[in-house]
């Protein structure tokens, strides 16, 4: 069967640190109609480059101010309450298979979450029994003040973890983030959803004969 993933040419024994994105890799992302049905030609490009979003996800803007500023910036025709309801529901539950793959990988490397996220959504993640404990460490953007795909976030992570880039594997669903990680010397792989994470896990473990 043809692989759906650009698999690395090494196994888990060559990885000391695994940096893992959350949304789209471990956590399902739901609908966000306020953005997708808006007048914006490319809503997700606008979201990724939004000063308001970056302020919120780097910990500089609390949720109430974020909602009002986002509605104004994007000229959205929904109420603040409706926008907040949709925003809260955007991250769904964790993918079941992704959780199982992380449990398989955890004994062999330092497992660190590296996510562009905010304190509001993080409270939801923390409410899921055992979820945050899947990882050894967390470096969310609202705590570091740094966001992918900015190169500064990867330099910060390597320094914070005292990690060697060539023995650090970064996985993310966004191609721009993967390219940025590779540009500073990290191993990186684009992974979208639980099936691709399962495929990567099998490859990493099979390459060194581990269960």
Contact 169, 8 (CB under 8 A): yes
Task: Taking residues 186-203, report their average pLDDT.
Answer: 97
Examine the pLDDT at 208 and tell me if it is beyond 80: no
| Pairwise CA distance, residues 20 & 51, whole Å | 25
Tens digit of each residue's pLDDT (9 = 90 or more) over 120-156: 999 999 999 999 999 999 999 999 999 999 999 999 9
Residue 156 CA: distances (Å) to CA of 45, 126, 139, 153: 25, 24, 10, 5
Residue 186 pLDDT grade (very low, low, confident, very high; cuts 50, 70, 90): very high
Give me the pLDDT at residue 44, please: 85
For residue 193, give the 3-state DSSP assignment. helix
Phi, psi of 30, deg, nearest 5: -95, -160
**pTM of the entire predicted model:** 0.93
Give me the pLDDT at residue 209, please: 62
Give me the pLDDT at residue 207, please: 80
For residue 170, give the 3-state DSSP assignment. strand
Of all residues in the chain, the percent with pLDDT exceeding 70 is 97
What value does the mean pLDDT of the chain take?
A: 95
Angle, CA of 162, 110 and 196, to the nearest 5°: 125
User: Which H or E run includes 172?
Assistant: strand 168-172
Residue 4 pLDDT grade (very low, low, confident, very high; cuts 50, 70, 90): confident
Examine the pLDDT at 21 and tell me if it is beyond 90: yes
Residue 5 pLDDT grade (very low, low, confident, very high; cuts 50, 70, 90): confident
Q: Which two tokens stand for residue 191?
A: 């992974």
Task: Taking residues 53-65, report their average pLDDT.
Answer: 97
């Amino acid at each position: 069967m043809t692989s759906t993933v650009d698999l690395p040419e090494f196994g888990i024994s060559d990885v000391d640190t695994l940096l893992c994105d959350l949304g789209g890799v471990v956590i399902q992302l739901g609908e966000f109609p306020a953005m997708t049905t808006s007048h914006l030609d490319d809503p997700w490009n606008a979201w990724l480059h939004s000063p308001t979003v970056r302020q919120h996800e780097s910990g500089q803007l609390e949720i109430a101010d974020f909602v009002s500023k986002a509605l104004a910036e994007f000229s959205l025709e929904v109420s603040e309450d409706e926008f907040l309801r949709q925003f809260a529901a955007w991250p769904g539950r964790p993918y079941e298979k992704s959780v199982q793959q992380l449990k398989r990988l955890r004994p062999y490397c330092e497992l660190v979450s590296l996510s562009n996220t905010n304190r509001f959504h993080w409270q939801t993640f923390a409410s899921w029994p055992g979820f945050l404990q899947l990882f050894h460490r967390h470096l969310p953007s609202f705590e570091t003040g740094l966001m992918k795909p900015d190169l500064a976030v990867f330099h910060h992570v390597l320094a914070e973890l005292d990690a060697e880039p060539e023995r650090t594997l970064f996985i993310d669903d966004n191609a721009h983030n993967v390219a940025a990680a590779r540009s500073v010397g990290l191993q990186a792989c684009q992974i979208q959803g639980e099936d691709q994470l399962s495929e990567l896990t099998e490859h990493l473990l099979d390459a060194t004969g581990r269960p």
